[in-house]
Amino acid sequence: MKQGIDLLHARPSKVKNGPCQEVVHLFDPSTLNSQPSTASGLTLSDLPILKCWPKDGGRFVTLPNVHTRDPETGARNVGVYRMQVYDDRTTGMHWQVHKVGARHGKTYYERGEKMPVAVTIGGDPVYTFAATAPLPDGLDEILFAGFLRRKAVEMVRCKTVDLEVPADVDFVLEGFVQPGETRGEGPFGDHTGFYTAVEDYPVFHLTGITHRNDAIYPTTIVGIPPMEE
């Protein structure tokens, strides 16, 4: 009974604004749902994204929480998929075919629609734990995070895409994946101790970055244990 009560309290709540949008940088005015608070040109090149190993294909965001939504059911998913930075405004999106993010993407592709994606970095560590936990299919990671910390996660709507993210994260990368567009991703020095080969993955296009005034960029260096484990 106590767990049932905790689960009720864990349901995410919506807020109009949050720390993650204290500073706003937007790149596509046609998709705005509110006005930017600043007019600076922050891009992926300005973030301290690491190239971890000498033969890596580039810099990789290694600790992102990738938020997607099923366009038919509205079900949310949060997963951790590495992102190779290609340039100021695009990255790879390393979701393998068996991942829920890829399944959501397939539905968008079949509909011929751009897939909205929001990537959060930082915030309560429980978000990353929930995103990587082997949860039953369909169980909301944000609900699970609220249950674990016994406090509902406050969610704020993104500025350029129709998705909600935790209001207290450090950074939010907003954008979309275009149906049918792929690009070579890798090599990447993986936890096996070997480089994964170059393979084609979807491309993430950045439409905006929001962040806290005092934002901290967390990351992990993947490699032979003991490393991220």
Q: What is the pLDDT of residues 86-95, one digit of tens each?
A: 999 999 999 8
Q: Using an 8 Å Cβ cutoff, are 148 and 187 in contact?
A: no
pLDDT computed for residue 28 by the predictor:
59
pLDDT computed for residue 97 by the predictor:
72
- Amino acid, single-letter form, for residue 139: L
pLDDT computed for residue 147 by the predictor:
92
What's the burial of 35, exposed, middle or buried (CB within 10 Å: 0-12/13-18/19+)? exposed
CA dist., res. 66 & res. 176, Å (int) = 11
Q: Which residues are catalytic?
A: 190
Tell me which residue of 78, 100, 69, 97 sits closest to 146, measured CA to CA. Answer: 78
CA dist., res. 123 & res. 78, Å (int) = 14
3-state secondary structure of 147: helix
Question: Taking the CB of residue 139, how many other CB atoms lie within 10 A of it?
Answer: 12
Q: Which fold has domain 2-211?
A: Pnp Oxidase; Chain A (2.30.110)
pLDDT computed for residue 10 by the predictor:
76
Residue ranges, the chain, pLDDT below 70: 1-8, 28-40, 227-229
Domain boundaries, the chain: 2-211
